[in-house]
Structure 1
Amino acid sequence: MAREIIASVEPYETRVAVIEDGTLVNIFVERGEPLAGNIYKGKVVNVLPGMEAAFVDIGLDRNAFLHVTDIRSQRLVGEEVDESFGRGAIADRLRPGQEILVQVTKEPMGTKGARVTTYIALPAHYLVLMPTVNYVGVSRRIEGDTERKRLRQIADSIKPDKMGVIVRTAAEGVGERELRADVDFLLSVWNRVTERARNGKAPALIYQDVHLIRRVVRDLLTEDVERFVIDSPDEYGRILDLLSSFAPALKSRVTLHKGEEPIFEHFGVEKELERALRRKVWLHSGGYVVIDRTEALTVIDVNTGKYVGKTDLASTIFKTNLEAVDEIVRQIILRDIGGIILVDLIDMENERHRKRVLQALGEAVKADRAKIHIIDLTQLGLVEITRKRVYQDLEEVMRTHCPYCEGRGRVLSPETMSLRVRREVRRLARTNRARALLVELHPQVHALLFRDGESWLRQLEENNGKHILIRGREGLHLERVNVTEAADAAALEQEEVLVGAGRRTQLYWLDREPDEAVDIAEEEEEEYEHAAAVAGERATHGIFARLRQLFAVRRT
């Protein structure tokens, strides 16, 4: 299997792609300072027995979340903990104001703060040192029993007293000298951590994990990587210096991209990255999968699409599902989707087909470096998957909520809005004290509102003794209605001048709660007065009278 790593370094963004046999399998994007892996001296803010958790101030915008299962029993230098620390209920282990050493295991996502643990882990190229537990482990990716036994024996002999080590995949075939060098290096790092924790005052950053390029060199650059291509001369030199310290044999595989064409375009990664952000992913057979993300979970739906099969329906469904599971796992890894994942396969009545598809899914997830669990395949064809999330996924990094639909993906239809506007205009005609009203709305809504003519509006004016002008305006949000008040029809024409200058008195969002209506900023009052002067009339009624009422209420 040909494996390559391509790295693009730009002023505000670093991207790394992993390609296997010409196919993009991983993409990592870093903007700003990463938090996962950092060690902080934090202060317990509050303890919640009902959640069996505590919130810890580590100096970020939001407090970090610490679950009871992530609290160790061993006390460390620099911590202010009671004798009960690590034993009993959460309320007996921690108290507000306590200073403890924690490590970030999951980046903040959305409205949630970072997740932290008191079990510290310091990774190097061949080993992970765990100073707070007494344990020896070997990566599950090293499959040979003889090699696993050899590495475990070496790890047992070199691990520090009352500490733990995990042998990483890169250590396969490596001798004791290299492993011992990693232990010595990590011990020196840990000694610096404890020294800073002893002298630091919470909340404080004690240890910062390396940035993306060094993390990729540490975690991914192994013997099975044929080449590592990077476009930054500075980072290229740092990588060579880093490899000289622990893996000089890999230096020849690192090359500097010197072409004028951007490196991601040169290797075809840019197009693949664009595909990784699409909602619909096509399969080679003509079927497709649809990936939808919600607050609680990610849902992946499988469809036959253009694929009609050659024999019978059962075989068509089976082949589509079989092809889909490989692409689904690839997309999960590529997009770094974490949390709960629900896969809706096409229903299969044949039990043998169901087992084959589930078996294929189990084989596919073995390529994932993250911790992933397949729960079961239900009778409805639903597969439940959980996957550990550490860093922000591709969607979180590269996209933001749509300001138009606020992340819902849907807005009210023009017909729904036209019906709502008609009801709203009737209400305003009945309850509003102004003698004239100007209503502005989206052109599509306007067209549907008057599809049968204006007779309903003229009747409404006659019944309520008001003059009402309704018009469409390009660029207005589909769900938004602007209403301007005036004392009479003549004054309404004056208000139209102000509306043309971009001024409003009331903004209605007909799909929002009342308290989500948009208010006019207080500092804009002078601009409204200036617009009135330009129009040639002092503001003694209509929009300005309404504004004064709003400001008077706000100031009292």
Structure 2
Amino acid sequence: METHTYTIVVENTKEFEKWTVLIDDNVQTFYLKPKDATDHIGDILLGQVTNMVKGLQGVFIELGSPQKGFIHQKDLLYDVKMNPLQQGNIQKGQKMIVQVEKEAVRSKGPRLTQHIQIRGEHLIYLPYSHYIAVSHQLSIDQGEKLKSFLQDQCHAPEGVIIRTSAANIEKSDLICELETLKQRWIELTKTIDMDRLGAIHKKENQLLQDIISEHHISGIINLYTDHPQKISEAILPKVTIISRGKVGLEQRRIIDRAYATAINRKLVLHSGAVCIFDYTEALTIIDINSAGVSPKRNWEETAYAINLEAATEIVNQIKLRQIGGMILIDFIRLTNEDHKKKLLQYVKSCFQNDFMTTKVLGYSNLGLMELTRKKKRYGIQDAVIEKKH
């Protein structure tokens, strides 16, 4: 079995807590956590319905804090054939257990869900969600076998999400993990005080857990930090944290070089072409400018070669910068249909080992390549957009 060296470097800057993830001394991505960030995603709370807004298709929830949360009707527990807001399933003053799905942003309260998730290393237990889901990174055959097996271990209304790493785990170990997650949920429900709104369960070391989960890290992590970290070993199964001081000189150079490139709007390629990254709230636009290139052969071949070079760097930067949501890439225009197909396939192949779910959709009517990528918080993209406000 292939082994890797995992390194996480945590540093404090004036604005951020900067986390760098390296695997075998290659920088995978950066997380820029604002100093004033509230880390509540995954928290489980007791809330109370204050008002229902049919126009917004959801309800506002009092959480015992100044900001109310919002829960869309698709995230409410109800019979799938019924609309809970129209059928009277939800009443003002009703109390419900909810989980934070999205952080509060400025004056906007947190986004909530009733579909509680209890996360494990290979499985995510769903106490009330009635379904079995499988990671998109598993083959259809692997997914169906695991789905069939775990279906027998769940009883309505339970469900489970099967993570990619589950494919390499013994069935007995999966059963053991699922039972542990079920027990964790039972213990949580015993602590609920129906007279007290607010947190039932607050997650610790959430960003570290997310990093370990997203990058499928197991074994030993070398954690370099310029300030003490409180790490709870109990919540990090099969991972050993070795806390160290300052990172070595060579790794320092590797990190600084990657970071300097990742925060720059423009990226100059070896060919002389330039990739320009522009972020908006709605989408990210990446443009390839070939003004500085002198073609050595016919322009179609030159454009195709530049596009392949740009694709490699763009995919790497999307991962480093944590770019998510809708992405449009304006490659240099190609007239050869075979070149266009090969470029599309090449971009898809570059994303095969992406730690986030990415879909390369094809070309738009205007010739732009369209992608969607699962959005995560604390990326460089988020930091740039936040600065605009």
Kindly indicate whether the alpha-carbon contact (under 8 Å) linking 2:6 and 2:24 is maintained by their aligned counterparts in 1.
no
In structure 2, what is the equivalent of residue 206 of structure 1?
200
How big is the shift at 1:170? 2.2
In structure 2, what is the equivalent of residue 101 of structure 1?
97
The reply on whether 1:178 has 2:183 as its aligned counterpart is no
How big is the shift at 1:163? 0.9
Q: Kindly report which structure 2 residues correspond to 1:464-483, keeping only aligned pairs within 5 A, or say none.
A: none
In structure 2, what is the equivalent of residue 194 of structure 1?
189
2:265 corresponds, among 265, 268, 279, to 279
Partner SS state of residue 142, structure 1: coil
The reply on whether 1:320 has 2:320 as its aligned counterpart is no
Residue 138 of structure 2 aligns with an amino acid whose one-letter code is: I
In structure 1, what is the equivalent of residue 31 of structure 2?
28
Kindly indicate whether the alpha-carbon contact (under 8 Å) linking 2:8 and 2:22 is maintained by their aligned counterparts in 1.
no
Q: How many residues align?
A: 381
What do you get for the CA RMSD once the two structures are aligned?
3.5
CA 1:237–1:97: 2 relative to 1, 3 Å: closer
Taking the aligned partners of 1:374 and 1:119, their CA distance within structure 2 comes to 29
How big is the shift at 1:36? 1.7
2:382 corresponds, among 393, 396, 412, to 396
Partner SS state of residue 367, structure 1: coil
In structure 2, what is the equivalent of residue 381 of structure 1?
367
The reply on whether 1:228 has 2:221 as its aligned counterpart is yes
In structure 1, what is the equivalent of residue 9 of structure 2?
8
CA 1:267–1:200: 2 relative to 1, 3 Å: farther
In structure 1, what is the equivalent of residue 119 of structure 2?
123
Taking the aligned partners of 2:380 and 2:318, their CA distance within structure 1 comes to 10
Taking the aligned partners of 2:115 and 2:181, their CA distance within structure 1 comes to 15
How big is the shift at 1:122? 1.3
Kindly indicate whether the alpha-carbon contact (under 8 Å) linking 1:281 and 1:290 is maintained by their aligned counterparts in 2.
yes
292-301 or 123-132, which deviates more: 292-301
How big is the shift at 1:290? 0.9
Taking the aligned partners of 1:89 and 1:162, their CA distance within structure 2 comes to 18
Residue 130 of structure 1 aligns with an amino acid whose one-letter code is: L
Partner SS state of residue 8, structure 1: strand
TM-score in terms of structure 1 length: 0.60
Taking the aligned partners of 2:377 and 2:173, their CA distance within structure 1 comes to 29
How big is the shift at 1:128? 0.7
In structure 2, what is the equivalent of residue 352 of structure 1?
338
Question: Which blocks of at least 5 consecutive residues in structure 1 are unaligned?
Answer: 75-84, 402-406, 409-556
In structure 1, what is the equivalent of residue 136 of structure 2?
140
Which digits, 9 at most, give the CA deviation of each residue in 1:231-265, with x for residues without a partner?
Answer: 259759755x666xx43xx64xx54445x556895
In structure 1, what is the equivalent of residue 46 of structure 2?
41
Partner SS state of residue 271, structure 1: helix
Taking the aligned partners of 1:208 and 1:187, their CA distance within structure 2 comes to 17
Taking the aligned partners of 1:281 and 1:61, their CA distance within structure 2 comes to 43
Kindly indicate whether the alpha-carbon contact (under 8 Å) linking 1:135 and 1:164 is maintained by their aligned counterparts in 2.
yes
CA 1:220–1:294: 2 relative to 1, 3 Å: closer
Taking the aligned partners of 2:315 and 2:251, their CA distance within structure 1 comes to 25
Q: Which has the higher helix share?
A: 1
Residue 53 of structure 1 aligns with an amino acid whose one-letter code is: G
Residue 50 of structure 1 aligns with an amino acid whose one-letter code is: G
CA 1:384–1:43: 2 relative to 1, 3 Å: farther
Partner SS state of residue 347, structure 1: coil
Partner SS state of residue 297, structure 2: coil
Question: Which blocks of at least 5 consecutive residues in structure 2 are unaligned?
Answer: none
Which digits, 9 at most, give the CA deviation of each residue in 1:194-226, with x for residues without a partner?
Answer: 234453533x12222332224434553545x7x
Which digits, 9 at most, give the CA deviation of each residue in 1:142-180, with x for residues without a partner?
Answer: 3383x5455345423433553112222222322133222
CA 1:130–1:375: 2 relative to 1, 3 Å: same
Taking the aligned partners of 1:255 and 1:397, their CA distance within structure 2 comes to 29
Taking the aligned partners of 1:61 and 1:291, their CA distance within structure 2 comes to 37
Taking the aligned partners of 2:116 and 2:24, their CA distance within structure 1 comes to 36
Taking the aligned partners of 1:275 and 1:323, their CA distance within structure 2 comes to 16
Kindly indicate whether the alpha-carbon contact (under 8 Å) linking 1:46 and 1:55 is maintained by their aligned counterparts in 2.
yes
The reply on whether 1:311 has 2:312 as its aligned counterpart is no
TM-score in terms of structure 2 length: 0.82
Which digits, 9 at most, give the CA deviation of each residue in 1:402-447, with x for residues without a partner?
Answer: xxxxx39xxxxxxxxxxxxxxxxxxxxxxxxxxxxxxxxxxxxxxx
Q: Which has the higher strand share?
A: 2
In structure 2, what is the equivalent of residue 478 of structure 1?
none
CA 1:387–1:144: 2 relative to 1, 3 Å: closer
1:50 corresponds, among 47, 55, 62, to 55
How big is the shift at 1:129? 0.3
CA 1:45–1:319: 2 relative to 1, 3 Å: farther
Taking the aligned partners of 1:123 and 1:264, their CA distance within structure 2 comes to 36
Which digits, 9 at most, give the CA deviation of each residue in 1:75-105, with x for residues without a partner?
Answer: xxxxxxxxxx982263444344433222222
CA 1:58–1:371: 2 relative to 1, 3 Å: farther
CA 1:297–1:180: 2 relative to 1, 3 Å: same
1:19 corresponds, among 17, 22, 31, to 22
Partner SS state of residue 41, structure 2: coil
CA 1:325–1:210: 2 relative to 1, 3 Å: farther
How big is the shift at 1:70? 1.7
Taking the aligned partners of 1:209 and 1:325, their CA distance within structure 2 comes to 38
Higher relative contact order (CA 8 A, sep 6+): 2
In structure 1, what is the equivalent of residue 287 of structure 2?
301
Kindly indicate whether the alpha-carbon contact (under 8 Å) linking 2:279 and 2:384 is maintained by their aligned counterparts in 1.
no
Kindly indicate whether the alpha-carbon contact (under 8 Å) linking 1:106 and 1:389 is maintained by their aligned counterparts in 2.
no
How big is the shift at 1:59? 4.8
Identity of aligned residues (%): 25
Residue 106 of structure 1 aligns with an amino acid whose one-letter code is: K
Kindly indicate whether the alpha-carbon contact (under 8 Å) linking 1:374 and 1:385 is maintained by their aligned counterparts in 2.
yes
1:163 corresponds, among 141, 148, 158, to 158
Larger Rg: 1
In structure 2, what is the equivalent of residue 525 of structure 1?
none
CA 1:376–1:6: 2 relative to 1, 3 Å: same
Kindly indicate whether the alpha-carbon contact (under 8 Å) linking 2:214 and 2:356 is maintained by their aligned counterparts in 1.
no
How big is the shift at 1:318? 1.8
Taking the aligned partners of 2:10 and 2:316, their CA distance within structure 1 comes to 25
116-125 or 154-163, which deviates more: 154-163
